[in-house]
Amino acid sequence: MFTVAGPVTLLEPLSGNTSLLIKINAIYASKKSKYQEILIVETEDYGPALVLDGYIQSTYKDEAYYHEALVQPAMATHPSPQDVLILGGGEGATLREVLKHGTVKRAVMVDIDGDVVELSKKYLPLMHQGAFEDPRAEVRIEDGFVYVENALRRGEKFDVVIMDLTDPYSSDIAKQLYTPDFFNKIKRILRDEGVVVTQAGNSFFFPEAYDMVLNAVRENFPIVAEYNVWIPAFGYAVNYIIGSLVHDPKSLTADEIDRRLSQRGVKTLFYTGRTHIGLMNMPVFRKINRV
């Protein structure tokens, strides 16, 4: 790979009519994989960043907000998560967050694009922090849809499934993994106390796509929780949806969350018991239609 000195400007689409300008000081790697255009860059405000098809996926300065918000509420909701499946998450930060839990015995990360994983290993060490080398981690380079179908045939079971995929409106790769049929497959590979969480794009700019994912989860899980977190490098609040068979994340107290994190040896920068309560009680952002 190579390094290109900047500065240059990344024009990142937020919607069809709004974009974010981000100053890039260097390009460390650029590769067109079988599935997408991959860039690893140095941004002025956010430090090193992974960019896929023109969309920032993670940056050093704010990735903890995204990844802790994605992983920790679902993991803390489950009383004892031991087997965890991650779909996507090529830079390894989601895997890192899962492996913080001392209860975890096996964490399977499935990403379709091996080039993203290999470039992240080389250029983004503070993202994965050695998670790929953890003996509990299994990294599979394959289609998440196919992996789940094969897991069903094998009778494989998980306690928590975490979907860290590209947005349904930004890439054709992930669209089939946001359907009611796919969430039904997820439900069938979960144990009786299972929990699934997915990032769901942005409900303000893309309400139709968000509602599609929300309804797909609601069709399959009796307990559903919605929340969102503002991510500076994205220029908007990212939405997350939890689906659960038994456990309600909204019923947990701040003290119980902190107790579970402490007992499992989890250390975080953003997520705490009080953060959890705030997330579960914050309204989801939608466009306000005034009469």
Do residues 233 and 43 touch, judged by C-beta distance below 8 A? yes
pTM over 0.85: yes
DSSP H helices, 78-176, are 93-99, 114-123, 125-128, 144-154
Contacts of 274 (CB under 8 A, 6+ apart): 254
120-134 pLDDT, tens digit each: 999 999 999 999 999
Q: pLDDT averaged over the chain? A: 94
Q: How many CA atoms lie within 13 A of 37 on its CB side?
A: 7
Confidence of residue 166 (pLDDT cuts 50, 70, 90): confident
Region 68-89: mean pLDDT is 98
Confidence of residue 1 (pLDDT cuts 50, 70, 90): very low
C-alpha dihedral over 110, 55, 170, 126, to 10 degrees? 20
pLDDT of residue 5: 60
Bridge-based pairing of strands 47-52 and 55-59 is: antiparallel
pLDDT of residue 170: 61
186-240 pLDDT, tens digit each: 999 999 999 999 999 999 999 999 999 999 999 999 999 999 999 999 999 999 9
Bridge-based pairing of strands 37-43 and 47-52 is: antiparallel
Q: Cβ-count burial of 211 within 10 angstroms (0-12 exposed, 13-18 middle, 19+ buried)?
A: middle
Do residues 48 and 24 touch, judged by C-beta distance below 8 A? no
Tokens of 179: 């359907």
pLDDT of residue 223: 98
Residue 78 annotated as binding? Answer: no
pLDDT of residue 171: 60
Share of the chain above pLDDT 70, in %: 96
Could you tell me which of 33, 197, 56 has the C-alpha nearest to residue 112? 33
Residue 144 annotated as binding? Answer: yes
Q: How many CA atoms lie within 13 A of 29 on its CB side?
A: 22
pLDDT of residue 6: 59
Residue of higher predicted confidence among 7 and 10: 10
Host H or E run for residue 165: none
d(CA 31, CA 11): 18
pLDDT of residue 4: 58
Residue 36 annotated as binding? Answer: yes
Ranges of each domain in the chain? 4-58, 63-281
pLDDT at 75 > cutoff 80: yes
For residue 267, give the 3-state DSSP assignment: coil
pLDDT of residue 176: 83
Residue 226 annotated as binding? Answer: no
Could you tell me which of 229, 225, 230 has the C-alpha nearest to residue 241? 225
Is 248 catalytic? The answer is: no
Residue 91 annotated as binding? Answer: yes
Catalytic residue among 83, 115, 159, 164: 164
Residue 263 annotated as binding? Answer: no
Q: How many CA atoms lie within 13 A of 212 on its CB side?
A: 17
Tell me which CATH code domain 63-281 carries: 3.40.50.150
pLDDT of residue 167: 80
pLDDT of residue 229: 98
Could you tell me which of 86, 279, 98 has the C-alpha nearest to residue 164? 86
Could you tell me which of 186, 30, 4 has the C-alpha nearest to residue 115? 30
Tell me which CATH code domain 4-58 carries: 2.30.140.10
